[in-house]
Structure 1
Amino acid sequence: MEANTQGYVNAITEQSGITTISFFHPAQNSLPGALLLQLAQSIQNAGNNPLTKVIILKSDGEQAFCAGASFDELLQITTKQQGLDFFSGFAKVINACRTSSKIIIGRIHGKAIGGGVGIAAATDHCFATANAAIKLSELTIGIGPFVIEPAVTRKIGLSAFSHVTINATDFYTAQWAKGKGLYADVFDDAAEMDTAINTLAQKIISWNPEALSALKKTLWQGTDNWDTLLTERAAISGELVLSPFAQDAISKIKPKK
């Protein structure tokens, strides 16, 4: 685990077979490239661990679940290759969720923005609190939600994805996201959500792991091309972030730590 000033990714596997993967960054849980790679690797490791029967994916802190990409790091991108490398981090997280043989339960306690929506969409069963509004704000900073689009569209459909993407300045409530299929259920507070997550996780660890693995493959049928597709999408974002429009927009709205 790294120092809190740099953020961290932490994975704990209980004797019961529940692996909880948590991430944190002090800037509203926005994710720099290093944390994205750590998160993807932690998901892969849990999926390959024979002791893991189910994965819970969450973030720490009391505010946003994930505010998307690190604006500090976006401003440091100066080449197309650097842009590709950075946005490939989100691609790797999504693909790690997709290819894991274990069911992944998402715990969304606060707002999810941009890549945070993509991470929520990449889980297999996602719970949220009433505070977990979503926003795809990428167009406002000169790029677009290209990398996460396949995962988000898979959950909420093309029409809803288009609606949220084009209305890039607006938040959509957790109840709206539930109605579109992103969230399985929405709770008044985190305590109620955690009770539901624990109840479901306890059920899953008692079920046939071979059946769960087969179900996982069925749920993600038709996504075998995502390794290539999401890399191609990362290249689009990586080029757009170099534009004067994007650099100016990001520098103006970069959140304070």
Structure 2
Amino acid sequence: MVSGKENSTTLPLLVGLDIGFGDVKVVFIHSSHLGEMNSFKFPTAVAYARKGVIELDEEAEEYEFEGRRYLVGESTLSSADIFSTRDISFLITYAPLLVYKAFEIIRAKQNENFSEKHVCLGIPLSYFHEKRFELERRVRSFAVNGEFLSFDTAEVRPQSQGILFDFALDEMGNPIVERQGLNLLILDIGFNTVDVLVVVEGRSSGKRSVMFERGGVSKMCEELSQYLQKEYRLNLSEQAVKEILTKQVFKLYGVKKDLSAAIRKMKEHYTDWLVQ
């Protein structure tokens, strides 16, 4: 639940979320820590909460949202019914649920009230103009577990734009003089998509920029999934395969299997494909 121990202090909260097809990445900042930025992430994993769906974590928290109950995040990875996250409709539909999960973690970390709440989200480049306002509307105000959560402002930006800002601006948001007015090619390699942002004389060019759908890290997950099926007869969800890709090890009947050599080859295959 979002609710927790309250105190009399009320502070503004700024939250940035990248609800990716693989992970939800979160940064937040508020005035009590004089501008200190905090960050965390959790898997973009959602499944129906049903008896027998997961074999572990009997205390996994369930979330009621729009008439159904769900598991969200880490506790979902063992579910046989984990949803595919590759479609933009998944992100639009379940964005409020994932935002709620993120806000729940923030409240647990800060244990404070907030006088104002502002959120900024990223969306893949090619979906920006079509889905921007729908996503803003979905996350501006909603209810989970019977609790109403609303933000004073909700803003959506193209995901790859954040890389440009990070390159061109310092930590205080001021321009870095020698990085202004440059011609740049920015690759934002996500789980499902690769956004290619073209910057001409310091300004992003929508006409020249493109997105490769299903060209992200999920391509390596597909190869790894085939490898696991062939070598170990394992048929795992895409999110579970992603966790193995990240950690490069997994346990089979209690025995740790090191996949670092095989995954290194998969990374080489992916890099060759991406730069060709």
- TM-score w.r.t. length of structure 2: 0.25
- TM-score w.r.t. length of structure 1: 0.26
Q: Whose helix proportion is higher, 1 or 2?
A: 1
Query: Of the two structures, which has the highest relative contact order with CA contacts closer than 8 Å and spacing of 6 or more?
Result: 1
Higher-Rg member (1/2)? 2
